Amino acid sequence: MLTLTGPGGTGKTRLSIQVGAELLEEFANGVFFVALASISDPDLVASAIAQTLGIKEIGSTLISESLKQHLRGKQLLLLLDNFEQILGAAPLIAELLATSARLKILVTSRACLHLRGEYEFPVPPLTVPDLRQLPSPEALVQYAAVELFVERARAVKSDFAVTDENASAVAEVCARLDGLPLAIELAAARAKLLSPHALLARLENRLKLLTGGARDLPAHKQTMRKTIEWSFELLDEEEKKLFRRLAVFVGGCSLEAAGYVCAGTGDLAIDVFDGLTSLVDKSLLYVKERKTGESRFLMLETIKEYGLEQLTKSGESEGLQRLHAEYFLSLAEEAEPKIWGREEAAWFDQLEQEHDNLREALEWSFTRAEEGELGLQLAGTLWRFWWGARSSARR
């Protein structure tokens, strides 16, 4: 079984499956697509699959048993779309696979099913250009995110094109939307009234701008907010708490930082590592491994905006910001005596990695009169790092 997962709250990257002669030959009994987005009860999954296969209920026989009997010995491919809200039906999938050795199942989901024999294939966001080295307008459209933007913009404004004048704005829009297909489609639909530069200026509030999806899409895919909310509401209460608290970080965080800040209030009932693992599995976080082997947990900016909204609504924002500032002051104090010693390179790299978090801590502390001392301590502790960074830049 293959499970396609993608960033939560994004809509999946478009997956094109061509059912040609070779595929039909491989699956002699057919290829069947089962749409599950409208189902929220795991007990209804068997009926949905059976209906697609044309299987009818017989007397008192359970539909799941009729389904197994029908699939026994069949050489068939099932495509199950949108499984994340009915993960309780995962054991049924395992039973179906055990029924027929030649049955194959492809699942799209924002969360993996955690079944034996499951192969997870993460679908990454679309490729975006490097804003520091923009190619020509002709080369820019070769990036998948820009190509999608242009395609959807032309659907509402037939003469839309990437030009020397708007190329940088188009590229930045795609980059700031994290290369998320649904976000790009919703933004491009605004091209009828807004130029790329005007669109870019309105991205300070992505979730307010990204609305108006196609009416034939499921309701949770018609606005970016509803789409992310769909994934958020699938979390349990402790996962929701951890998710919104992680939004306080800028540019990601280490496991240690997540533990100090998110569990520092003493009221998080979930183990931080287990919680992070679950959020990664559910595609609301992603992981990058540093050269040191340390894992770094990151959140796409579009999802982070929603997380910050939830953090503000919870009333936890100020307390979390203080824990965030305290942690990075502690890190800076630990680094200060070592920044020009034998461990200089490692500690310089560590502080450089946390540069955005350090800036955030400084900005927060200096905008609150009662936290000015913390800000001064942090600024004073970082002077060696800043001097070293300046000297490196000059060289």
Domain ranges for the chain:
2-122, 137-227, 235-315, 331-395
Query: Model confidence over 84-100: pLDDT tens digits?
Result: 999 999 999 999 999 98
Give the C-alpha distances (Å, rounded to integers) separating 338 from 278, 332, 350, 377, 378.
36, 10, 11, 17, 16
The stretch 301-319 carries a mean pLDDT of 95
User: From the CB of residue 257, how many other CB atoms can be counted at a distance below 10 Å?
Assistant: 21
> Taking 90 as the threshold, does the pLDDT of residue 386 lie above it?
no
For 354-369, letters b (16+ CB in 10 Å) and e give: beebbebbbebbeeee
Q: Could you report the per-residue pLDDT of 9-43, keeping only the tens digit for each?
A: 444 434 444 445 555 678 889 999 999 988 999 99
Going by pLDDT thresholds of 50, 70 and 90, the confidence category of residue 347 is confident
CA–CA dist 289, 279 (Å, integer): 17
pLDDT digits (tens, 9 = 90+) for 368-382: 878 889 989 999 998
Can you give the pLDDT at residue 389? 55
Write down the pLDDT at residue 17.
47
Top pLDDT among 207 and 171 is at 171
Please report which confidence band the pLDDT of residue 217 belongs to, taking 50, 70 and 90 as the band edges: low
Average pLDDT of 279-296?
Answer: 89
Q: Average pLDDT, whole number, for the chain?
A: 88
Given this model, what pLDDT does residue 296 score?
Answer: 95
3-state helix, strand and coil shares in percent for the chain, rounded to the nearest 5 = 55, 10, 35
Domain 235-315 sits in CATH at: 1.10.10.10
Mean pLDDT value of segment 305-311: 96
Domain 2-122 in CATH: superfamily? Answer: P-loop containing nucleotide triphosphate hydrolases (3.40.50.300)
The answer to whether residue 119 scores a pLDDT higher than 80 is yes
- pLDDT class of 108 with cuts at 50, 70, 90: very high
Tell me: pLDDT of 52 over 60.
Answer: yes
pLDDT tens digit sequence for 249-271: 999 999 999 999 999 999 999 99
pLDDT at 12: 41
Question: What is the mean predicted confidence (pLDDT) over 207-219?
Answer: 67
Q: Who contacts 118 (Cβ-Cβ below 8 Å, separation ≥6)?
A: 1, 2, 3, 112
72-81 confidence digits (pLDDT tens): 989 999 999 9
